[in-house]
Amino acid sequence: MTMDPLPHRIAANIPALGSLYHRPVLVVGPSRSGKIQALRAAADGHDWRLVNVNLSLSEQLLSSLRTRALRASRLLLDLCPP
């Protein structure tokens, strides 16, 4: 029995998220395992927003060292609104 490729497994689980208030999808795996490519492939052809939270937060938090902890939660909400 073979597993579906990761993009298909991601897409197959999206409909179950419709009843939830928050609907983030986290894909966890080792570095260079193809997570970003799988998410991009799954989002192709759908009206899904793909946000690389690590990259986006890092870029925005670089500017201010002192208020970083205070700003992180607000920036995350801005990146992924409900």
34-66 pLDDT tens trace: 888 888 888 887 878 888 888 888 887 777 666
Looking at the structure, do residues 33 and 59 belong to the same domain, yes or no? Answer: no
pLDDT score, position 11 = 85
Number of domains, the chain: 2
Looking at the structure, do residues 7 and 45 belong to the same domain, yes or no? Answer: yes
Looking at the structure, do residues 30 and 67 belong to the same domain, yes or no? Answer: no
Amino acid at site 11: A
Give pTM, 2 decimals.
0.56
- For every residue of 20-37, DSSP letters joined together read SS---------TTSSHHH
pLDDT score, position 80 = 79
Looking at the structure, do residues 10 and 45 belong to the same domain, yes or no? Answer: yes
**Contacts of 22 by beta carbon, 8 Å cutoff, 6+ apart:** 82
pLDDT score, position 58 = 82
In this prediction, residue 1 has a pLDDT band, given cuts at 50, 70 and 90, of very low
